[in-house]
Amino acid sequence: MPIHTPSLAVFLATSGHSGVDRIMGNLLPALVDQELSVDLLTLEGHGPHLPDPPPGLRIVPLGRAHVSTSLPALAGYLRRHQPLVLLTDKDRVNRTAILARALAGVKTRVYVRVGTTVSVNLADRKPLERWRQRLSIRHLYPRADGVLVPSHGCAEDLRQISAGRITRLQVVPSPIIRDDLASRAADPTALPLDMDGDDPWVVAIGELSRRKDYATLLRAFALVLTQRPARLVILGEGRERPALEALARELGITERVSLPGFVANPYACLSRAQVFAHAARWEGMPVALIEALALGIPVVSTDCPSGPREVLDGGRLGRLVDVGDAQAMAAGICHYLDHPADPRTLKSAVTRYRVADSARAYREAIGL
């Protein structure tokens, strides 16, 4: 007999400040609020970090530091506790979960989440990693009870990569808009810099990575500055910081650009923006873009796979530009600086991403 049987076990290994951290940090407490018992299985040195987990959410360290060595510990947990459902995210964790259930010999249902457009993501990987992930998608993912994705573009991408072998594929809206979004946005103590003054602000949020392509945004912003004064702040941290700082110096825009790093509450800054800029080369579902719309902030985004086109309704709710097109992005930013969008229209378009609504959609998808 299992010694403790939660409704749901969630196994994650994140950076601690990624989009997955934010999504799961919203989803897990919401599921507990909806009266599910949840175990969060963690690895040493990995997120998500929930400093104040609600009653009903149990943190279970697996005693391992790497996904690659966690298979025996995860299988042991499944044998002892036999949760009704195991939910995971990201490929290495996903394939480990599928193998662990087989090793444990239990009836736990396994649902794996894929939060990005895999084909574009793989283009940046080494050949061995591309081969390994394609192999797991084609031969392991079909063994899961379901594959959950945040957008229809992600779903179609997985269908193609799996050669049609993944049949239990569900699009589930991500839990993004929290009930306290407005109050957090109104908190002036959360501002990482002084945003007073007459110049309009362009805000971007996300990890300083090649995927986010902030180099294109910096080039676009340099073009904006040839037409009007403005300020740009990019909230996030990552390995591309030195290259981005060097590019800002090369473009002569250092005095107009701020890179304050990761900010726990970016919404105070975001709510003071005249434009939110999203330059990513690929996505699954752009979290910060949806948060910007929820605050009524106009959006200029690349038409990258996948998510922005779906969220922006083909361009009706924001300007879509080609990936890497600095001139088009600059034109979009200038357009919204001159012609602000109706915030009521933007806010009403993203209600399906409210945390409680998304949690109910997740429960329906995983049968809880």
DSSP structure string for 44-82: TT-B---SSPPTTEEEEE-S-S-GGG-HHHHHHHHHHH-
pLDDT given for residue 7 in this prediction: 93
Q: How far apart are CA 162 and CA 164, in angstroms?
A: 5
pTM of the entire structure? Answer: 0.87
Q: What is the pLDDT of residues 166-219, one digit of tens each?
A: 999 999 999 999 999 999 999 989 998 889 889 999 999 999 999 999 999 999
Asked, as a colleague might, if the bond just before 306 is cis with ω within 30 of 0, I would say yes
* CB neighbourhood size of 195 (10 A): 18
Residue 2: what pLDDT?
Answer: 63
Q: What pLDDT is attached to residue 15?
A: 81
What the chain holds in terms of domains, given with CATH numbers, is 8-175+354-366 (3.40.50.2000), 181-349 (3.40.50.2000)
Q: What is the DSSP string of 1-50?
A: --S---SEEEE--B-SSSHHHHHHHHHHHHHHHTT--EEEEE-TT-B---
Q: In DSSP terms, which residues pair with 89 in a beta bridge?
A: 113
| Residue-wise pLDDT tens digits, 81-93 | 999 999 999 999 9
The predicted structure's pLDDT at residue 22: 85
d(CA 68, CA 76): 15
Backbone angles phi, psi at 26, to 5 degrees: -85, -45
pLDDT of the residue at 5? 80
The CA distances from residue 218 to 185, 277, 293, in Å, are 25, 11, 22
Give 11's Cβ-side CA count (13 Å radius): 30
In this prediction, residue 92 carries a pLDDT of: 93
Q: Which helix (H) or strand (E) holds 182?
A: helix 181-185
Per-residue pLDDT at 254: 98
Q: What is d(CA 91, CA 119) in angstroms, rounded to the nearest whole number? A: 13
Q: Tell me, what's the pLDDT at 261?
A: 94
pLDDT < 70: residue spans in the chain: 1-3
147: tokens are 């594959």
- Across-strand partners of 171? 149
Whole-angstrom Cα distance, residue 151 to residue 184?
27
pLDDT score recorded for residue 129:
86
